[in-house]
Amino acid sequence: MTAALRRVVVRAPGKINLSLGVGGVDEHGYHALATVFQAVDLHETITAERADGMSLEISSDVPGEIPLNGSNLVLRAAELLRTECAVTDGAALHVHKQVPIAGGMGGGSADAAATLVALDRLWGLDLGTERLRQLGGRLGADVPFAMLGHTALGRGNGADLTPLPTRGTWTWLLAVPGGHLSTPQVFRTFDESAERSGRIPPHLPTVDERQLAALARGDLPLLAETLHNDLQAAAFALHPGLEPVVTAAKRLGAPAALVSGSGPTIAVLVEDEAQAQEIAAGLLGEGLVDSCLVVRGAEPGARVLVEE
Ligand code: C5P
């Protein structure tokens, strides 16, 4: 245990999936994945202050509702730490959101990751990176990546991570169409479609080695060729507004575009900021998306900004 603090501020990044290979389902209902995550410079910021009880407030740069009940990942992360470490102290928590809500960009996972790191410091628990990552994995498959950040290969349910070397900075246009998609429903639609077509998903999906080479070399045309999401067809089927965005982004000159994670956010790979703005103007002008954000990867994982 280290000396306890009065106030801690931690931020954790949202992510996009540069590839997402989906395999069979395990006994907990989770699919085997081979996915390449990249953290981008949109952050969830958690402020944790000493208090007698537990409380949570939310402020947001992005539209949408976040549940304040027991399904909220900030509260679940706090409760997990209190139970695991027999903590009786409280905390007043504040979340500031930048990551699109329910957009397939891991905003809730970043909330959980930042909360675990902040409360570990505030309560002087000193659990260490590995233990925190393991606890994060119990809250959601993407939580350990929000702690690690940068670019990484995720195997198992997505929580078994290997950092990937990358060269340079990647610029993405995030095209955010209206509406939300439920992650479990997208996975279910994927399973149903595989069943109908008699396609048996691989026991262990693999990642395209060319994508790893493209990232290591900073080779944008090769990366563009290898962006791939097995959930994309399911997301297209559930949300008719998505495929037109991908098609239009490519027509407007993007090297590649795909659904991020389970959607509905579309990640558009671009050469630079100027191309991003041009494509954003086109997509907004055609009324295909509600908003566009230009982001860069790869960002570090959860980190402490203030402790006092
Ligand atoms: O881990 P997380 O809570 O983000 O996952 C949400 C849902 O997405 C799970 O309940 C499951 O239905 C689906 N999922 C899956 N296989 C994974 C990750 C998520 O089926 N590897």
Active site residue 230: no
Structure tokens at 41: 């410079």
Ligand 1 centroid – CA 183 distance (Å): 7
Choose the catalytic residue: 111, 120, 142, 230.
142
Query: Rounded to whole angstroms, how far apart are CA atoms 140 and 143?
Result: 5
Strands 54-60 and 90-97: parallel
Active site residue 142: yes
| Residue 2, pLDDT score | 57
Residue of the nearest CA to atom 11 in ligand 1?
184
Ligand 1 lining (C-beta closer than 6 Å): 29-31, 33, 140-142, 157-158, 183-184, 187
Structure tokens at 176: 């955010």
Instruction: Choose the residue to mutate in 138, 183, 188 for probing ligand 1, maximizing ligand atoms within 8 Å of C-beta.
Output: 183
Ligand 1 centroid – CA 76 distance (Å): 16
Domains contained in the chain, CATH given: 7-163 (3.30.230.10), 170-297 (3.30.70.890)
| Residue 199, pLDDT score | 85
Give the global pTM. Answer: 0.94
Query: Rounded to whole angstroms, how far apart are CA atoms 250 and 216?
Result: 24
Token pair 């507004």 in the structure block, residue: 241
Ligand 1 centroid – CA 31 distance (Å): 7
Residue 25's H or E segment, with its range, is strand 7-25
Ligand 1 centroid – CA 158 distance (Å): 9
Query: Rounded to whole angstroms, how far apart are CA atoms 73 and 106?
Result: 11
Instruction: Choose the residue to mutate in 72, 155, 187 for probing ligand 1, maximizing ligand atoms within 8 Å of C-beta.
Output: 187
Token pair 């900073």 in the structure block, residue: 218
Atom of ligand 1 nearest to the CA of 141: 1
Query: Rounded to whole angstroms, how far apart are CA atoms 20 and 229?
Result: 5
Taking only the tens of pLDDT, the chain with its 308 residues reads 556 689 999 999 999 999 999 999 988 888 999 999 999 999 999 999 999 999 999 998 887 777 777 679 999 999 999 999 999 999 999 999 999 877 788 999 999 999 999 999 999 999 999 999 999 999 999 999 999 999 999 999 888 999 999 999 999 999 999 888 899 999 999 999 999 998 888 888 999 999 999 999 999 999 999 999 999 999 999 999 999 999 999 999 999 999 999 999 999 999 999 999 999 999 999 999 999 999 999 999 999 999 99
Ligand 1 centroid – CA 141 distance (Å): 7
Structure tokens at 81: 């730490």
* Residue 244, amino acid: P
